[in-house]
């Protein structure tokens, strides 16, 4: 049951009040959440702290038991995940890849008892389509921009991760952060200075910003950060709507690395888009290549040298509770066999 006091921990702009009355979960859009305690933190309050990134590391990120608490990622979840569900899935993400996870909520339009049930199930998908073509903003985008610029300006390494719709918000945020960084250091009409700052952005973010994108659904990722795009063959979202290998090659984007696991599910099964399967395959890949579980730098290096061997579904010791994370229990037949 949702903690009834959570809403008192965050402050919303008056222009969002009607939206949040109609869709209560939207109260947590763009706010931090510790997936372990499920405690909500007001983003603006966190950023007002002297060292907000340290605070996120120590107080907001959830770490699996026995973890050294040194590695964490700010994670933007996918569609249809009210903050309680996204916390549950983020805990599993953290435990599987032995990394800390701090949620930056991508709240859902879904309501438990909707007045119009036939509309309820489509609202998030409509929202995703509007976000993808850039016709609307999101507190998650705005707040991610603030985080990125703060990290780049203060030489603070920061890892980001997104799942499905969360990758759209993350990609748009990185793009906007780049424009904000350049605009801060060069006048709009000074093209030479802007070119210098663009190169400076690329050099700094290459050293500071790492991105894990699961089931990526966006195509325009700006140069600079280190990117790893992870998916399972047959996942229609990255194949049709995201930046897949073919599109990246045409754009000359050899800075973006891809991990595409072999097909598990039947053609057309949306379960291939389920991050809970992808992270289990990724965990086994770390083991198979003698890389510390969750070591982004080690994984990126092996991808860069084309020496990474991907795990197969047969090699994974699938957890017995996978049924709690699937969208269709029949999907489990693919891993049982």
299-317: pLDDT as tens digits: 999 999 999 999 999 999 9
- Say whether pLDDT at 6 is over 70: no
Taking the C-alpha atoms of 284, 286, 289 and 291 in order, what is their torsion angle to the nearest 10 degrees? -150
d(CA 71, CA 279): 16
**For the chain, what percent of residues have pLDDT higher than 90?**
72
17-53: pLDDT as tens digits: 888 888 888 889 999 999 999 999 999 999 999 999 9
**For the chain, what percent of residues have pLDDT higher than 70?**
94
Phi and psi at 184, nearest 5°, equal: -70, -30
pTM: 0.92
173, 74 Cβ separation under 8 angstroms: no
* pLDDT recorded at residue 2: 44
- Say whether pLDDT at 109 is over 90: no
Beta-carbon contacts of 312 under 8 Å, excluding residues fewer than 6 positions away, are 261, 262
280-305: pLDDT as tens digits: 999 999 999 999 999 999 999 999 99
How far lies 209's CA from each of 173, 186, 234, 249, in Å? 13, 22, 29, 22
Domains identified in the chain and CATH numbers: 6-269 (3.40.50)
CA 38 from centre of chain: 18
Residue with tokens 């705005």: 142
- Say whether pLDDT at 1 is over 50: no
- Say whether pLDDT at 118 is over 80: no
d(CA 42, CA 34): 12
* pLDDT recorded at residue 116: 61
202, 224 Cβ separation under 8 angstroms: yes
Highest mean pLDDT among 11-20, 26-35, 143-152, 242-251: 143-152
- Say whether pLDDT at 98 is over 70: yes
Residue of 124, 107, 217, 215 lying closest to 171 (CA atoms): 217
- Say whether pLDDT at 117 is over 70: no
Task: Give the range among 52-61, 105-114, 170-179 with minimum mean pLDDT.
Answer: 105-114
Residue with tokens 């599910």: 265
Residue with the bigger pLDDT between 82 and 118: it is 82
* pLDDT recorded at residue 215: 95
- Say whether pLDDT at 260 is over 80: yes
Residue with tokens 């921009």: 145
Residue with tokens 């965050």: 10
β-bridge mates for residue 211, sequence order? 160, 227
b vs e for 218-247, b when ≥16 Cβ sit within 10 Å of the residue's Cβ? bbebbbbbbbbbbbbebbbbbeebbbbeee
């Amino acid at each position: 049951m949702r903690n009834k006091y959570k809403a008192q921990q965050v402050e919303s702009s008056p222009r969002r009040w009607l939206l949040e009355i109609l869709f209560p979960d939207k109260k947590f859009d763009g706010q931090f959440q510790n997936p372990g305690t499920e405690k909500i933190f007001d983003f603006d309050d966190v950023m007002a702290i002297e060292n907000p990134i340290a605070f996120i590391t120590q107080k907001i990120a959830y770490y699996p038991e026995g973890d050294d608490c040194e590695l964490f990622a700010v994670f933007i979840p996918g569609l249809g995940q009210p903050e309680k569900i996204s916390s549950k899935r983020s805990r599993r993400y953290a435990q599987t890849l032995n990394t800390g996870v701090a949620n930056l909520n991508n709240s859902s339009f879904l309501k438990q008892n909707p007045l119009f049930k036939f509309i309820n199930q489509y609202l998030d998908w409509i929202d995703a389509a509007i976000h993808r073509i850039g016709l609307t903003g999101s507190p998650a985008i705005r707040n991610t921009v603030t985080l990125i610029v703060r990290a780049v300006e203060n030489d603070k390494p920061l890892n980001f991760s997104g799942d499905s719709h969360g990758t759209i918000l993350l990609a748009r945020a990185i793009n906007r952060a780049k424009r904000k960084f350049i605009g801060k250091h060069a006048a709009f009409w000074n093209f030479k200075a802007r070119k210098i700052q663009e190169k400076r952005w690329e050099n700094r973010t290459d050293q500071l910003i790492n991105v894990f994108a699961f089931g990526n659904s966006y195509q325009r990722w700006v140069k600079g950060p280190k990117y790893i795009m992870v998916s399972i063959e047959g996942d229609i979202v990255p194949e049709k709507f995201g930046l897949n290998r073919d599109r990246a090659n045409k754009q000359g984007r050899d800075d973006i690395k891809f991990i595409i696991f072999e097909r598990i599910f039947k053609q057309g099964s949306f379960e291939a888009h389920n991050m809970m399967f992808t992270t289990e395959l990724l965990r086994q890949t770390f083991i198979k290549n003698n890389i510390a579980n969750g070591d982004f730098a080690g994984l990126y290096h092996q991808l860069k040298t084309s020496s990474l061997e991907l795990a197969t579904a047969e090699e994974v010791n699938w957890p017995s509770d996978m049924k709690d994370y699937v969208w269709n229990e029949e999907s489990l037949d693919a891993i049982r066999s």
